[in-house]
Amino acid sequence: MPSDPMPRFAVLGQPVAHSLSPRIHRRFGEACGIALDYRAIELAPEALPARLAAFHAEGLGGANVTLPLKELAARACRELSDAARLSGAVNTLIRREDGWLGDNTDGAGLVADLRRLGVRLAGARVLLLGAGGAARGVVPALFDAGIASLTVANRTAARAEALAHDLQSCGDIATCGFEALAGADGFDLILNATSAARSGRALALPATLPAPDAAAYDLSYGETAQPFLAWAASAGIARAADGLGMLVEQAAEAFQRWHGVRPDAAAVLAELRAERV
């Protein structure tokens, strides 16, 4: 009898050729003794619904979803997990017989990495910069982790207000435009979920934002995170990190949902960090 074909998985986005997800999942598979075929597939937003239907018909086992497709994927799924429903964004597609279950592991990945870094979340005052799919994906997990308050600032204040309205069941969310941050201070954790660096826009932030011993974290990683991390250093924030750890941790969450076992994220993260020293 012929053996079953190797399970196929993918990461979907635009652009996506740079993604580390194929490497991360292959390393997870090797560590867990699970053979899999994981590839990066570039998709234009308008092509997503039809391609998702085709992927399901072709037997794709699951997929990760990255920018700019997370909110579109939520609308294209047959069913949503609580995390995806609350956030309105999907980063993980789980195969069901009748279609795709959309999940969001970004929040769990962020919280896991922040805790690994020793960042206190219980009782923290948090400032979240940005109100797109990346921001929406982490809000429920932040409240679950016990933060005291959340302020969402966005270039367009109306989009921050829409996020607060959609996620009001998670907790009280204050909103403002970036210009209103000039008089703000005392944040224990400042998270950057904007695409400013990716699109070439400057992100001018006042140095008064952080509380003593504050932490700063960019949900992106690599060069995209450097402008925000440079601002954090100039503002005297000693604990600052990019989102490489979040990427690996959210991938471990997705891997567990597909294969029933959670891999050792720390080992893969250490390997990736060592290459960037």
Binding residues for shikimate: 19-21, 66, 91, 106, 221, 250
In 3D space, the residue among 163, 158, 204 whose CA is nearest the CA of residue 150 turns out to be 163
CB 230 within 8 A of CB 207: no
Three-class DSSP category at 265: helix
Query: What b-and-e string marks burial along 9-25, b requiring 16 or more CB atoms within 10 Å of the CB?
Result: bbbbbbebeebbbbebb
Of the candidates 25, 27, 63, 70, the residue annotated as catalytic is 70
Write phi, then psi, for 252 (nearest 5 degrees): -65, -40
> Which of 105, 111, 38 is CA-nearest to residue 70?
105
70 included as an active-site residue: yes
Binding site, annotated residues: 19-21, 66, 82, 91, 106, 130-134, 154-159, 219, 221, 243, 250
Number of Cβ atoms within 10 Å of the Cβ of 65: 31
Residue stretches of the annotated binding site for NADP(+): 82, 130-134, 154-159, 219, 243
* Residue that has been written with the tokens 């308050």 in this structure: 149
d(CA 248, CA 196): 23
| Closest-CA residue to 127 (of 170, 206, 185) | 185
- The residues assigned a catalytic role are 70
